[in-house]
Structure 1
Amino acid sequence: MPRLFTALEIPRNAAMSLSLLRGGLPGARWIDVENYHITLRFIGDVDGRTADEIVDRLDRIDRPEFSLSLNGIGSFGSKKPHSIWAGVTPAPEMYALQGEIERICQRIGLPPDPRKFTPHVTLARLKQSRLEDVVHYLSGRGDFQTVPFITPRFVLLSSRESVGGGPYLTEEVFPLHENRSVANFAARALQPEKSMV
């Protein structure tokens, strides 16, 4: 069975903005644009019966869609950086969804996720990148941000690669129900500001 994880997808316009951050860092292996995502819960290798039970439980989640935006970039691994990421503006609905998925996984018998949930989009894996090169790369791109976007669903992805970074396969899709106030907020955010004349 492939390695499974739940995630939020990155819409095309935000993914294109992220793709402009590629390059300019020696030793970086950049993630393909179509593989950008926000991991909610890494599940790992499970047998077919457990995978079916996970899908059945995730299918019962009843939560509203919500608005997100990507904001700022950074690296994991302070003295020996191993990846570059884009940050995610905190959204209470995202944390609530992630918490429910975590509880479902534990009820099924999976061990608790040992890592604290830190929402991000991995942009590159680093292999022998020098710390000063990473600092220089990050220093010129700290003001990165995208316009808000709606997350209408979350997905169960699988990875058959042992290295990480894709390609990922969408195994199941779980819609979130429409939230009119979020849709109105996103529509307002996309409108150009009226000039003060």
Structure 2
Amino acid sequence: MNERVRPANVRAFIALAPPDDAKDELARALRPAYEAYPGLRWNRIEDWHVTLAFLGELPASAVSLLRPPLAALAAGRRSLRLALRGGGHFDERVLWSGIDGDLDGLRLLAVEVRALAEEHGVAYTARPLNPHLTLARARRGDVSGAVQAAAGLSAFTGRTWRAERLHLVASTPLGGPGPLRYRDVAAWPFGGTD
């Protein structure tokens, strides 16, 4: 009997990642919130990223097809100077840090990345780019932690850093229980600096 093997799917997105020292700086500013709001589901610092395009669940073959054009796009773009600034929340449940710096360049990069994905057959629901780095999520029924932690970050001003690579990222588990974990499928250096 021949069983047809279903190709693996990957939940993918395209992102930028702050360098470790910028993430460490923000983590130090978050220490009081970590202690004060242990009920929040805190994202792992190694998973912090700035999403440019969320692609959703895709066949692994579609993800592979994006690699060469994303590499070419990165090679033809200059790196961006960004910073982590302040904090906020979405729907009183999602705590985030804001992004500052070359926001026009960041928005243009997001437009280019999204257009490239569409050119290669990846249809997704486009949402306006709201540059941020997700830090934690409140558990259902416990929204005060995200709101109060956001208030505690309002004065945070991180150092300026250079986004040096474009990342194609997969998240796991797909459809299963447990927290999400992220892994780079590939990452490409930007071709120039200012």
Structure 1 residue 17 and structure 2 residue 29: aligned?
A: no
TM-score by length of 2: 0.82
Q: Distance in 1 between matches of 2:179 and 2:137?
A: 8
Q: Give the equivalent residue in structure 2 for 1:126.
A: 138
- Is 1:178 matched up with 2:178? no
Cα distance in structure 2, aligned partners of 1:164 and 1:122 = 18
Name the structure 1 match of 2:4: none
Give the one of 65, 70, 77 matched to 1:63. Answer: 77
Residue 175 of structure 1: CA displacement? 1.2
By how many angstroms is 1:139 displaced? 2.5
* CA–CA distance in structure 1, aligned partners of residues 14 and 98 of structure 2: 18
The number of residues matched between the two structures is 177
Higher strand share: 2
* SS in structure 1 at match of 2:13: strand
Structure 2 distance, partners of 1:88, 1:74, is 11
- The AA in structure 2 aligned to 1:84 is L
Where 1:88 maps in the other structure, the secondary structure is strand
CA change 1:164–1:71 in 2 (3 A) is farther
- TM-score when normalising by structure 1: 0.81
- Counterpart pick for 2:15 among 7, 24, 35: 7
Indicate which of 93, 96, 109 corresponds to 1:82: 93
Shift of residue 132, structure 1, vs aligned partner: 4.3
Structure 1, gaps ≥5 residues long: 182-197
Q: 1:30 to 1:152 in 2, by over 3 A?
A: same
Once the two structures are TM-superposed, the CA of residue 151 in structure 1 deviates from its matched residue by 0.9
* Residue 29 (structure 1) aligned with residue 41 (structure 2): yes
Q: Distance in 1 between matches of 2:107 and 2:51?
A: 12
Q: Once superposed, what is the RMSD of the aligned Cα atoms?
A: 2.0
- How far apart, CA to CA, are the structure 2 residues paired with 1:99 and 1:114? 10
Runs of 4+ in 1 over 6 A off after TM superposition: none
Partner of 1:194: none
Distance 1:142 1:110 in 2: 36
Specify every segment of 5 or more residues in structure 2 that has no aligned partner in the other structure, as ranges. Answer: 1-8
Whole-Å Cα distance in 1 between the matches of residues 130 and 178 of structure 2? 18
CA deviation profile, 1:125-175 (whole Å, cap 9, x unmatched): 111354444433332321012110011111111111256864211111111
* TM-fit CA distance, 1:45: 1.9
Q: Distance in 2 between matches of 1:34 and 1:86?
A: 15
Separation in 2, partners of 1:93, 1:136: 31
What is the correspondence of 1:75-114 to structure 2 with a 5 Å cutoff? 75-77=89-91, 81-91=92-102, 92-114=104-126
Is 1:155 matched up with 2:164? Answer: no
Moved more, 84-93 or 132-141: 132-141
Structure 2 vs 1, CA of residues 17 and 129 (structure 1 numbering), >3 Å: closer, same or farther?
A: farther
Q: Deviations over 1:44-64 (max 9, x none)?
A: 221233222211221221100
Percent identity between matched residues is: 26
